[in-house]
Structure 1
Amino acid sequence: MTDSSHKMEINAYVPCQMAALTHSIMRSLASVLELRFNISVPEWKVLAIIAEKPGLSAVAVAHLAEMDTVAVSRAVSKLMDRNLVARELDNEDRRRSILNLSPAGLELYADISPLAADLEASLFENFTDDEKRVFEKAIATLRAKSVTFADAFQRTPRNVMATRPTAHAANGDRFRPRVAPLLATPLNGRSGAR
């Protein structure tokens, strides 16, 4: 029997709301990219990063794009097949391959960038400048906090989660997980305890 006092409204759960928002926005972007330019969102991300930072390795592109290296490799291969990206040896380290846009790749980037910027602008058209700054700060804070969670679970899994009986567990038959103080510490490093 479950404890109804801890039921979660999954559609109101913030991570799910953010995932749904991201999916909706990226679906809109994908439809424009695929219909007008025959390019996928992952390929566009790779193309844009190489345009902004030419001469990167595929591994560096994956890091900046926050994508799996296999997905980046697949995107690079497709972009190279269309002669949008060129792979060449680094003059300073001949063991290392670097990526640059071809003239056609630069032209495609110049065509897509204004449309991507227009999509972003339309999302914020009802925001004041202050509201946009608050939103961007909130996103940065949540991203930093998500890294804190991920690092904590990966480094010290035994210390992160503990168990304690709930208020209904007088007989020791019902427990719920408790997040360790490490995850309860604010980003400024000060404990929330008073």
Structure 2
Amino acid sequence: MPPSPLADPQQPSDLLLYRLAKLTASAGRLVTRLCERHYGITRREWGVLMWLARQPGLQPSQLADLLELDRARISRALASMQAKGLLNKSTESSNRRRAALQLSPAGQRLHDALLPQVRRINTDLVAALDADALQQLDQSLHRLQQQANRAAQDEASDAAFPPRQSGHRQNHLG
């Protein structure tokens, strides 16, 4: 069997991150349309709903980490969701800056209505793989995530990728 082009990428379509970004964009578009057209929320807000349904009481900074979002983006999503009546924020009496977030009853109902539809999109996508391939994909994604986490913590990575000068988020496809 010839080596995978992922091992020695020669063109953009051989780059792992490019291919993952393309997959995420095309499959994610289905979730985005569902969220925006039928429920009036963004995909980002859907991410917040998912995590708060799973772990009520998270702080905004924890949500930002779980969703891989910067603090400003999570703050905007939370403000929008509060305005829509989808979440409640409580602050500690000892530290007014420390907030715990929970879904409101309306937020929980929205989550409960949307989750089966998002699960169906996911199920339809992975139906392209048999059980063994799906298990192998799951294990491979886990190993890739561990490798990416190690690289992000490595001091050499920090030197290789200096901070951006602009305030715009970049989509790294390579």
**TM-score, normalising length: structure 1:** 0.72
Comparing 90-99 and 18-27, the one that deviates more: 90-99
Counterpart in the other structure of 1:33: 35
Counterparts of 1:38 and 1:156 in 2: how far apart (Å)?
A: 39
Higher RCO, 1 or 2 (CA under 8 Å, sep at least 6)?
A: 2
* Corresponding residue number in structure 1 for 2:159: 157
Question: How big is the shift at 1:143?
Answer: 1.1
Unpaired runs of at least 5, structure 1 = 1-5, 159-194
Q: Structure 1 residues 48 and 75, CA, compared in 2 at 3 Å: closer, same or farther?
A: same
Between Structure 1 and Structure 2, whose CA radius of gyration is higher? 1
Structure 2 unaligned blocks of 5 or more: 1-7, 161-174
Q: Distance in 2 between matches of 1:154 and 1:21?
A: 29
Indicate conservation of the 8 Å contact 2:152/2:158, yes or no.
Answer: no
CA shift, 1:156, in A, is 6.5
What is the one-letter code of the residue matched to 1:110? D
Give the Å deviation of 1:8.
Answer: 2.7
Identity over aligned residues, as a percent? 25
| RMSD (Å), alpha carbons | 2.3
Deviation at 1:26, TM superposition (A): 1.1
1:118-145: CA deviations, max 9, x gaps? 0110011132222111001111111111
Matches within 5 A, 1:139-178: 139-153=141-155, 157=159
Quickly say closer, same or farther: Cα 1:155–1:134, change in 2 above 3 A: closer
Identify the residue that residue 98 of structure 1 maps to in structure 2: 100
Q: Among residues 101, 110, 113, which one is paired with 2:112 in the alignment? A: 110
In 1, Cα distance between the equivalents of 2:9 and 2:59? 47
CA spacing shift, 1:137–1:7, aligned 2, 3 Å? closer
Letter in 2 for 1:146: A
Provide closer, same or farther for how the CA distance between residues 155 and 126 of structure 1 changes in structure 2, counting only shifts above 3 A: closer
Q: 1:156 to 1:112 in 2, by over 3 A?
A: closer
- 1:76 match: 78
Q: Deviation above 4 Å: which 4+ runs of structure 1?
A: 91-95, 153-156
Q: 1:43 to 1:154 in 2, by over 3 A?
A: farther
- For residues 36 and 82 of structure 1, the distance between their equivalents in structure 2, rounded to whole angstroms, comes to 15
TM-score by length of 2: 0.80
Which of 113, 119, 129 pairs up with 2:131? 129
Number of aligned positions between the proteins: 154
